[in-house]
Structure 1
Amino acid sequence: MSQTHTARLMDGTDLAHRISEASASRAAEITRESGTAPCLATVLVGDDSASVTYVRMKRARCEKAGIVSRHLGLPATATTAELVGAITALSQDPEVHGILLQHPVGPYIDERVAFEAIAPDKDVDGVTMRSFAAMSFGLPGFVSCTPGGIMRLLEEYDVDPAGKHAVVVGRSAILGKPVGMLLLGRNATVTYCHSHTTGLGSIVRQADILVAAVGRPRFIRGEDIKPGAIVIDAGYNPGNIGDVDVETARTRANLITPVPGGVGPMTIAVLLAQTVEAAAEQLGLGSGRSVLRS
């Protein structure tokens, strides 16, 4: 690629809007047929400003799509047992079809234990071990929302992972690990990189598909991008800055997601779609999985 080359941006905002419209249409159908609207329960521990903003945004998107939003706030002093009890009650409530535990939950709570209290059929955020196993084995289930959004973006731009070398920088349980499993399921050869990886730059330079999910602003530089690569920037840092230095990366990549406007909108769109799917299945109206393909 010459220095005059500029990568095409992968527009997550427009695709997310279309998916959300399809979710709204399906939610309306479910409400008409069953007399019950899909319902997503959000759970927030404490009053961290960023988390409060994220939850408020997700609830607003739900309501716009015809999904009932129920919110449960717990104090920052809540214990693991108290949080598990609250999530268990929501899991057992037939009027709740999906549960979202906003993370992080604070230093005094065992987050994994809390996640595992979510009933598998209501795990619309794809955070439980059962959901991860389903992603890994290619079985039916809910995907982690950001990885699911990434895969849908790749489909939208006709990127077939089969035979390509995908490098994932980051190994979190809700982003790095599951997106690698989803790419592997699409026949990519997957390399995980993390804080203990030596020679990171040389590995990144081999990537046909690069997923940056390390949580460090502009960590991936343009000179480390393989010419013609597909770059998915899943990082979101203060100041609307991603994990990739987009200006230098665009001179070498073929496709790249912007921050904001790339992966972020897709995360919420997948959450809405999976909530609608969960409601359809629990109410005996069939699967809503086709929403993500609309």
Structure 2
Amino acid sequence: MSLIDNITFHTLGELRYAVREAGTSEGEPLVLLHGLMDTGAGFDALVSAMESRAPGRYRFIAPDWRGHGDTAATHDSYWFPAYLLDLERLLDVVVGRGPDNAVTLVAHSMGGQIASLYAGTRPERVSQLITLDSLNVPDSDPANVPDRYRRWLDAHANPPATKVYDDLDTAISRIGRRYPELSADQTDFLARQWTAEEDAAGRRRMRVDPWHRVPLPYAFRASEAMALWAEVTAAVLCIDGGDSPARYFCDDEEMQKRRACFADLERVVVDGCGHMLHLQKPDAVAAEICAFFDTGSQANSV
């Protein structure tokens, strides 16, 4: 069963949340958290690769974040702590609370930021954390604060418009320019997931609330994130793309300092891979994840 086809809806707080599922309903839950602009369907190739390695072992749970895909949008600012609250409410609904309900989070880019902060806030609820090309948001510069406040106020006077492409081919071309490492089939897949038909003329609108493009007055503060990362008790696997442009967001020294916050962390790099590594090379990413799980299982049995 594909993540694309199997969507249920849950009311989480004030929002109607789309949650995609695949795998075995009684399997070990893996919660898949996508990045900015993406949807839960973006993990479909990785799910197929995981299933081929461990048939029937996992229950894959992939929400569309607020303002993405089939989940409701707020049409206003997206405050980062709200994502953590959404994740907590989602886990309450689809997995439940309690000492036996800790889950594995597999999270890409922005999703990895959310998952890592949540794992430090609620360490008892996360047994394993796997980040995909994440933990690399640059520290905020206080000198930019005045401009951020002004842009945030300006956006409320002149709200951002949804991006609309002339047709599907144009959307495919734009995405291909952003991710030139992806194949034609992979770019076509993203265009169909990231856009929806706007009108009878064949125009396509982006399925992400344009308010995500509006900077918040409060930016990312690395020191605060590192304080939370130091609270994480889960075993952590960081998988990064060897050719990802995200490797330039922070220098090596900064990334080493961030990874050192975690008590139990392993890092691997997938060579020849860009930012969308779970889509570009799903088999390689699945192999690293399964090896990480197997290593953990062997350690627990000793």
What TM-score do the two structures reach when normalised by structure 1? Answer: 0.35
What TM-score do the two structures reach when normalised by structure 2? Answer: 0.34
Q: Relative contact order: is structure 1 or structure 2 higher (C-alpha 8 Å, sep ≥ 6)?
A: 1
* Greater strand share, structure number: 2
